[in-house]
Structure 1
Amino acid sequence: MSETIKNKLLETDLYKIFDVEEDSPIEQIKKAYRKKALELHPDKNPDNKEEAERKFIELGKAFEILADKTARAAYDAVRRQKREKAKRDQQLDEKRRKLKEDLERREAEAAAKYEKKTEIYKKSKEEEWLQKEVDRLRKEGSKLLEEEMNFINQQIRLEKKRTSESETKQTKSNKQQAVPKIKITWSKEKASDKIKLDENLLNHIFSSYGDIEFIVMGKKSSAILEYKNEQSVIKCYNDEANLNDKYGLVIKIIGELSPTVKNKETSPQKNQESVVDDLANFDSTKSFEDMEMEILKKLKAASS
């Protein structure tokens, strides 16, 4: 501990730093330290990190003394000695003070030196005790302070983690705005008169409206298609008459379009269906996990 910090501790009311009474239990002092330490931690004060670091170190030294029974007793003794001296000085009226000063001047040099040495010895004795305890703590290290520092650092890390997780969730939420899917159905008889419909052909037909995320073929002349954006969904839906005329395809939108997207005059929502209902038209022998795996494979293939 530097001489500057050491002298400052002797002149500072450590209890006032933590806003606690002199007879406060260690639990209350520990709670007050945690609160102050979180406020003064350098990571919480990036604009004035050097000053925050100085205050944080002084706070730790103050806590170190009050958290150690022996060091605290020495500090309290110094405080009592100073209070008693201040009280004695205050009680002396001007006349007695003048008399005291006159007597001190008249007293023999030896007597004056003796009184002075006695007072200095009494003061030094208490301060020496405190100094010894401060030096002991510096050499041995305070286990309690170390535990509290670990706790404070853990709180800082948790706060940073919560902030990071919140930002990550917000980013994911923004990315996961679902694009409405399209259900495609056709009559086998009508489609066979024109052309054989399979996944490759459907991909060729519908990619003209935009980039496709995936296509999942159903068992009963149907398929589920997802575009990468809503504009492609609108283009496809608005061209339903042409698709029906050329290939015998019927288009239905699954899900809801965002309010910012311009809809067709005949609202597509009238033809919207739930994803759960549409999945019922797929191969019933497949489990939900199989269907989910198939869709994930399609998504992976589309992104590669």
Structure 2
Amino acid sequence: MANGNRVSGSLDFNPYEVLGVDEKSTDAEIVKAFRKAALKWHPDKNPDRKQQAEDMFLKISRALELLTDAAARAAYDGVCAARTARKIFVQRREQRETENRRRLREELERREAQAFSSQQDEKLAEAKLQKEVERLRKEGSDMLRRERENIERELRRKRDAFVAAKASSSAQCSSFTYNTFWICNIFIIYDILSFTVKGMDAEARLRLKWKRGRNNCDYDEKKLRNIFEKYGQISALVMSSSGKGSAIIEFADAKHGLDAENETGDLDNPLRISWISEKPDPETCISSLNFEEKSTSTSNVSSNLHNSDLNLAKSSSQFADFEAEILAKMTNTSGIAKKQTSADGSASKFDDI
């Protein structure tokens, strides 16, 4: 048996394949296979392909040396086993990588579907809010119409009562009082309708955002109402149905929205507030408190003018009686002395005027 040390150089072929045997072949089978291959590839029997025959004869000779040496064969078998194990490892790793890529792709598709669903939920929530806002606006328009009708009925009633009370007054006094009365009431109507229309047209719609579950602090509809009710009447509050911390709130008065836009909520999980509707101009925003003060002031002016007109009517009547008395005295007296006596001796009921 040849020694393994005689095998020199790098082995760039498979000795089992060269001799046509496998790993389980015995030494006798290997020698028999060598003799058969040597007869086939001996250079003297292949003069037309001598170089190829020499190369093959060298390979089968080295294969015989390697496989008939127990230590060299065991070392070679170990290398083959390691190569096979590595090949299996690489195949399994590629398989795992394929599975990981598949799982990553499925996870990506799932997240994309979830994000799309969240966007749809947010759009549905905004559509729901828009529907509620339109309903409230319609109800507000009906309320405005009813209030206008009530104002018109009240003004007609006051006008009829005023005309009946002034039927016996002079034309000049009645005309002056009637005009001043209606001027004041026109101001009142203008203020009421201007305020109501501005209040109905103004929108104060805000978007609220926060981090869901941050610092064990979260928001629900009840908590948000408790936070924002201090700024004014809330027309609508819609919570997002997605997993994100989001809500939409609308105030009945635009000024209330301006007051609430700087609210931060809980410091452990602050709110981020942005406008959905167009932000109104603070200088032109009219509050209900200013309207009530202005309406009350205008009503007081109307009442004062009405009382002044009544006093004027009374003074005009007294002046007519006074004028008649003087004319009668001038007719009945004939001289300065008689007039003096009459003036000194009789007291007029208008001396205190």
| TM norm structure 2 | 0.25
| TM norm structure 1 | 0.29
**Based on CA coordinates, which of the two structures has the bigger radius of gyration?**
2
